[in-house]
Amino acid sequence: MGRSASKSSRSRRSSAELPSHVFGSDVEQDLAFLLSEGRRNLARFNADLVERAFRFCVKAHEKDVRVSGEPYYTHPANVALIVMRELPLDDVSVVAALLHDVVEDTSFSLKDVRAQFGAEVADIVDGATKISDVFKSREITQAENYRKLLLSLVNDVRVILVKFADRLHNMRTIDSLSRERQERLARETMEIYAPFAHRFGLGNMKWELEDLSFKVLNPAAYEDIQQRLAKTRREQEEIIRRFAEPIEEKLRENGLTFEINGRPKHFYSIYRKMLAQGKSVEEMYDLLAIRIILDTEDNNECFLAYGIVSEIYRPIPERFKNFISVPKKNGYQSLHTSVISGDGKPLEIQIRTRAMHDFAERGVAAHFRYKADTGATASWVDASDLEEWATWVRDVFENAGDTAAEELLESFKLNLYQDEIYVFTPKGELRILPKGATPIDFAFDIHSQVGARCIGAKVNGKIVPLDHELITGDQVSILTSKNQTPHRDWERIAITHKAKTHIRRILNEERRARVIEGKELWDKRAKKLGLHLNEDDMERLSVQAKYGGRTDFYFALATGSITPEAAGELIRQLVQPAAAKTEPHQAINADQFRTAARDKQQGIHLKDPTASSSKIMFSYARCCNPVPGDAVVGIVTIGSGIKVHRSTCRNVADLHDKLQSRIVDLEWSAAEGGEFLAAVKITGEDRPGMLNDITSAVVAVQKTNIRGVTIDAYDAVFEGILTVYVADLEHLKRIFEKLHRIKGVKSVERFEE
């Protein structure tokens, strides 16, 4: 017997539809509720283990309070509840959710967690903590940190699933945060977490994360869409009822067991469509998607249902998509089509089995649960499609080379979110590529050598240019030549990270070979002219000669942009003025600076009593920002005189042996006056008014001028860099004392880049 349900609300159970319970009123009641939910939702549930973890969590966080004023343990308890209800995973994941903040925020260590709850729980907690560290550093755009984030997922998907649950609860309770922190959290969620949720097939979580972020980032548009949809709620319900009636009758006649429901598209999706189509909510017809969910394990019944729907309503052929025979890369399966309803409006239909529906809403979490229920290894790389993506992640970072961090991040966003096309090799092998892919992307997807030697392509038997945009169904044949190498404009044509990375790596290898060739030409010319310059000297002189650096200079030599003779004369002329008091073409060193010096009162001078400093130009290193009172040393440079560093500067320490002949001892002059730039790093507990307290404290010390302030916060912790003008070290110490007195400040120290 068939059954149907016509609903205009989303088919997932939202937090509002679940049994209500507010954590924090009573610890024992909270524990009892959590255990009952675990037994209700999880096939395997160790109540004793979860109870021990809950009590450990309460004890560890007993002194901690959320920004909202609730006991802190209510947050991990709610994260555990999401893991139970909305994914749902297993009892190990619930325990890890309860303990996910213990290592990061309390005195307990990972060793403590491992000793009490085992290695499996400890590894998940460790992975979740590492991901938190990446975001806390505010350096998510750095490739190395993104590498840590992605590769931490390869062994156990529960790491990222617990982190998703953590972020979802933070977004649901975002109202208690300051406006600035709300916007930062929402932007990070929209840019990082939602795309990852999409890639892992977590449809429900992705929608909610997007909508909650959208509500913060564009509250006016969110409210407008919400109100307009509320007005049409009854109309939507009536459309679904009228539409479903004839389908239900026919499905029952064919012996199918099913559920039909309708869901409005989520707000952010509607907003994006409104922008793309330039329409209002009222003008958009495809706000509803009708789902037919079949209680069967036979995928062929989905096609039977499609045939029945097509007999009743006229289908729109170009809107048919078969994701059952060819699933998306994240494992999503369903039949999609659009039909013209009785009142002439198009309606989107999705037809899937119950298992497909579970995967559509919970993605890899559903895969994990099914594997765990059968007693199989609960690793996400058991799924062939996700194993392919894990391999891709490794390949990306192994071949990242000189990829800019921002480009790497943008490429990941594209890969996580982009629509897909399905194209074929001449032998009929299927290749899934992002929408907008070109023959170059296809060639590199086949093999890096095929891509590197690509000279052209045939699509469906016809020659096409390399920037031709492929579409689903194309059969692509790549033409190659062993004499071909990538062109620089290929980077612009390609859209996949794999293609761009290989192109960039090959071009860089070619450039490095030319740079070596150019250096050999220069060394021969310099030897003939008697010029003895080290690589640091060449770097400075190349910049003075209007090149980007010595590698650009050597590359110009190798490619013939400048002849060795012209290059030699150019560098000789640049060296001559600086070496006027030395033997011709001889490298400048510290001894020559000492003999050339004359007396001059200034902020710094040579420590050697026999030397004077009138003709020496001093500049202060920006890496360590020395101020009067610091122990200092100087490094002789070409064109910039002596660069003054703090004696403790890491850059000096790292290069001490290499720079030995160019290091001179310095000391501060007795004459005072002037201002010196200093950088201060400050960390502590984030709270309203903290930035104002910091700036007020600094300005109060001798009316100190502040050049810049950068403050970043994560959850309840902030980290800031202040650049200030000070007279000397004592002035700076007084600023430190003032900052230390501010409530919530944990550390104040000199900052070095």
Please tell me which of 140-149, 166-175, 496-505, 534-543 the model is most confident about, judged by mean pLDDT: 166-175
pLDDT in tens, 63-115: 888 988 899 999 999 999 999 988 888 899 999 999 999 988 888 998 999 99
Average pLDDT of the residues in 284-291: 73
Q: Are strands 346-353 and 454-459 parallel, antiparallel or unpaired?
A: unpaired
3-state SS class at 725 = strand
**Which band of pLDDT confidence, cut at 50, 70 and 90, is reported for residue 402?**
very low
Amino acid 5: pLDDT:
41
pLDDT in tens, 503-515: 988 888 888 888 9
- Of 105, 259, 474, 552, which one is the catalytic site residue? 105
Percentage of the chain exceeding pLDDT 90: 24
| pLDDT beyond 60 at 263 | yes
Amino acid 566: pLDDT:
80
| pLDDT beyond 60 at 454 | yes
Amino acid 129: pLDDT:
77
Clarify whether 104 is annotated catalytic.
yes
Average pLDDT of the residues in 698-711: 81
| pLDDT beyond 90 at 439 | yes
Burial string for 705-716 (b: 16+ CB within 10 Å, else e) reads eeeebeeebbbb
Quote the pTM value.
Answer: 0.55
Average pLDDT of the residues in 356-385: 59
Instruction: State phi, psi for 684 to the nearest 5 degrees.
Output: 170, -165
Cβ neighbourhood burial of 368 (10 Å; 0-12, 13-18, 19+): buried
Closest CA to 268 of 213, 203, 348, 349: 213
More confident residue, 307 or 413: 307
Per domain, the residue ranges of the chain are 27-226, 507-578, 590-668, 676-750
Element (H, E) at 80: helix 74-85
**Which band of pLDDT confidence, cut at 50, 70 and 90, is reported for residue 658?**
low
Can you list the pairs that 554-561 forms with residues at least 24 positions away whose Cβ atoms lie under 8 Å? 554/514, 554/515, 554/516, 554/517, 554/518, 554/519, 554/521, 554/522, 555/511, 555/514, 555/515, 555/518, 556/518, 557/517, 557/518, 557/521, 557/522, 558/514, 558/515, 558/517, 558/518, 558/521, 559/514, 559/518
Clarify whether 693 is annotated catalytic.
no
pLDDT in tens, 550-576: 888 898 888 777 778 888 888 888 876
CATH topology of domain 676-750: Alpha-Beta Plaits (3.30.70)
**Which band of pLDDT confidence, cut at 50, 70 and 90, is reported for residue 7?**
very low
| Cα 215 from Cα 194, distance rounded (Å) | 14
pLDDT in tens, 16-27: 444 457 788 789
Q: Which CATH superfamily is domain 27-226 in?
A: Hypothetical protein af1432 (1.10.3210.10)
**Which band of pLDDT confidence, cut at 50, 70 and 90, is reported for residue 41?**
confident
How high does pLDDT run on average in the chain? 79
pLDDT in tens, 570-623: 888 887 654 433 333 334 343 333 333 323 334 677 776 555 555 566 778 877
Amino acid 138: pLDDT:
44
Give the tokens for residue 496: 């996949």
Amino acid 198: pLDDT:
79
**Which band of pLDDT confidence, cut at 50, 70 and 90, is reported for residue 325?**
confident
> Quick check: do 27-226 and 676-750 share a fold?
no
CB atoms within 10 A of CB 489: 11
Closest CA to 7 of 316, 220, 262, 364: 262
**192, 140 contact by CB (below 8 A):** yes
Listed in sequence order, the DSSP H helices in 381-460 are 384-398, 405-417, 439-446, 448-452
More confident residue, 442 or 531: 442
- CA dist 306 → 247, 260, 359 (Å): 10, 13, 20
**Which band of pLDDT confidence, cut at 50, 70 and 90, is reported for residue 248?**
very high
Average pLDDT of the residues in 254-258: 92
Q: Name, in order, each residue with C-beta under 8 angstroms of 461's C-beta and a sequence gap of 6 or more.
A: 475
Length of the chain: 753
| Cα 751 from Cα 681, distance rounded (Å) | 5
- Of 51, 64, 104, 382, which one is the catalytic site residue? 104
